[in-house]
């Protein structure tokens, strides 16, 4: 089965409507952080309050996602995602209303945090559905699951490029609140549609008391650390681009520079399905980490927005292959009853890494400029390379053990 035929088969199995809904359902999360920053900072005149509110939303979402994923493993995705979608949409609307009513700073930050806590992680939960959706495809199932994870990695990257762009466009055409209102509508409609899609019923519910699969292991800690590092890369790179754009007198261009990271990453993510199956995911993660290190160092030399855009675009080509390998490894080594919690935990690690990278790079940039922020990006890629290089045997052994102990869904019938 060729990669192209794998993608076609996945669309046949899931249906084009599901693919569209699952993509649009993840956009609100990508829109909410920038939308909150724009709305609160514009209304209050304080970038500090805007950043605090956006950070509260992002951190609360990162902390709450693993609990929501674990609950979805227990009772099913449908009720969890449906409630989260409706509460998250209501929270975004409430945040707009609170800012419009000149609510106190503490109230605005609290509402932002509560909204982030409620919003679903559609991308990670969509990954969980592919194994049961490909059930019954026989020997092709593993190839299809790998192709599905390649697509999901590309879809995530595309959403984090398109989401902020839609937020900025809505803010320009409507008002600073336009981005959050649009995100609320998308979440209420497509988040709910994702919850109610028939594929949600295919994901088996697991009684953790009866089937106590362990989520936290040394191998999973390694994978979570890998995602934390890529989150730091995101935060530091965006901060460096922002500082560089501000120094050039064009702060609004920073989002476009960072968006090119997602463009290159999305294209490369789709292409990973063309890699030979004999190349294990642990090896793919190592090669991608080496590519990140090799492609990031030119950031230390850039002095213009055009140069930064070109480097970031090329750097993005290694991001999705790295993340796809990490998520694929988690899907293989984590016990089946805990896959939902695993996917959302890895997404949370990325979010926490983003906040960490932004904070560290921002402080260094205050003193030494954009090059110092980009130095955080380069250092992070080196750490990712060291992590993957030293953990090859452990990851390979874990994958081998899981293949012996835990069959695919098609073998469980």
Q: Mean pLDDT throughout 303-309?
A: 87
Segment 328-357 mean pLDDT: 84
Q: Which residues contact 179 (CB under 8 A, 6 or more apart)?
A: 31, 34, 35, 38, 39, 166, 167, 168, 170, 171
Domains and CATH numbers, the chain: 1-205 (1.20.1250.20), 210-413 (1.20.1250.20)
Q: Residue 401's pLDDT band (boundaries 50, 70, 90)?
A: confident
- Least Cα distance to 204 among 350, 305, 77 occurs for 77
pLDDT digits (tens, 9 = 90+) for 324-339: 999 889 888 887 777 8
- What digits encode the pLDDT tens for the residues 203-247? 877 654 444 556 668 898 999 999 999 989 988 887 788 788 777
pTM above 0.85, yes or no: no
SS3 of residue 141 by DSSP: helix
Dist CA 116 CA 272 (whole Å): 31
| SS3 readout for 87-123 | HHHHHHHHHHHHHHCCCCHHHHHHHHHHHHHHCCCHH
Query: How far is it between the farthest Cα atoms of the chain?
Result: 61
- pLDDT surpasses 50 at 411: no
Cα–Cα dist 42/45, whole Å: 5
Task: Reply yes or no on whether the pLDDT at 46 is more than 90.
Answer: no
What is the CB-side half-sphere exposure of residue 190 using CA atoms within 13 A?
23
Rounded distance, CA 150 to CA 320, Å?
8
Q: Is 202 exposed, middle or buried (0-12, 13-18, 19+ CB in 10 A)?
A: middle
Confidence of residue 268 (pLDDT cuts 50, 70, 90): confident
In whole angstroms, what is the distance from residue 124 CA to residue 26 CA?
A: 10
What's residue 369's pLDDT? 83
Contact of 358 with 79, CB cutoff 8 Å: no
Q: Which pLDDT does position 269 carry in this prediction? A: 84
The number of angstroms, rounded, from the C-alpha of 73 to the middle of its chain's C-alpha atoms is: 19
Average pLDDT, the chain: 85
Which tokens hold the place of 267?
A: 């294209």
User: How many residues in total does the chain contain?
Assistant: 413
Q: Is 267 exposed, middle or buried (0-12, 13-18, 19+ CB in 10 A)?
A: middle
Token pair listed for 11:
């669309």
DSSP characters for 3-56? HHHHHHHHHHHH-HHHHHHHHHTTHHHHHHHHHHHHHHHHHHS-HHHHHHHHHH
Question: At 37, phi and psi to the nearest 5?
Answer: -60, -45
Quick one: pLDDT band at residue 413, thresholds 50, 70, 90?
very low
Local confidence band at 292 (pLDDT 50, 70, 90 cut-offs): very high
Say what the pLDDT of residue 252 is: 59
Select from 201, 54, 47 the least CA-distant residue to 132. Answer: 201
Give the pLDDT confidence score for residue 226 in this predicted structure. Answer: 96
């Amino acid at each position: 089965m060729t990669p192209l035929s794998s993608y076609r088969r996945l669309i046949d199995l899931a249906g084009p409507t599901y693919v569209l809904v699952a993509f649009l359902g993840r956009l609100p999360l990508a829109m909410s952080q920038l939308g909150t920053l724009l709305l609160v900072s514009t209304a209050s005149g304080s970038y500090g309050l805007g950043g605090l509110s956006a950070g509260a939303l992002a951190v609360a979402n990162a902390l709450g996602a693993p609990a929501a994923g674990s609950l979805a493993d227990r009772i099913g995705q449908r009720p969890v995602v449906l409630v989260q979608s409706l509460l998250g949409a209501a929270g975004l609307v409430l945040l707009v209303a609170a800012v419009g009513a000149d609510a106190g700073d503490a109230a605005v930050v609290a509402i932002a945090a509560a909204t982030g806590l409620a919003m679903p992680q559609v991308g990670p939960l969509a990954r969980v559905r592919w194994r049961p959706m490909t059930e019954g495809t026989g020997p092709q199932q593993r190839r299809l699951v790998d192709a599905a994870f390649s697509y999901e990695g590309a879809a995530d990257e595309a959403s984090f490029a398109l989401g902020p762009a839609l937020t900025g466009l809505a803010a320009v055409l409507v008002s600073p609140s336009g981005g959050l209102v649009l995100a609320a509508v998308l979440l209420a409609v497509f988040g709910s549609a994702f919850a109610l899609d028939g594929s949600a019923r295919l994901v088996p519910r697991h009684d953790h008391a009866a089937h106590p699969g362990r989520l936290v292991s040394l191998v999973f800690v390694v994978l979570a650390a890998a995602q934390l590092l890529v989150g730091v890369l995101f935060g530091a790179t965006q901060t460096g681009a922002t500082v560089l754009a501000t120094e050039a007198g064009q702060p609004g261009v920073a989002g476009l520079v960072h968006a090119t990271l997602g463009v290159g990453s999305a294209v490369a993510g789709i292409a990973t399905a063309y890699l030979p199956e004999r190349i294990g995911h642990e090896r793919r993660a190592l090669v991608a980490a080496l590519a990140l290190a090799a492609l990031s160092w030119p950031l230390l030399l850039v002095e213009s927005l055009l140069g930064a855009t070109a480097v970031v675009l090329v750097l993005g080509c290694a991001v999705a292959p790295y993340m796809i390998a990490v998520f694929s490894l988690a899907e293989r080594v984590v016990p089946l009853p805990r896959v939902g919690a695993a996917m959302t935990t890895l997404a949370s690690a990325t979010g926490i890494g983003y906040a960490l990278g932004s904070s560290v790079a921002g402080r260094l940039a205050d003193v030494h400029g954009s090059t110092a922020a980009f130095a955080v990006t380069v250092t992070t890629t080196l750490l990712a390379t060291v992590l993957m290089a030293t953990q090859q045997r452990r990851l390979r052994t874990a994958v081998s053990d899981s293949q012996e102990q835990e069959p695919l869904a098609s073998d469980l019938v």
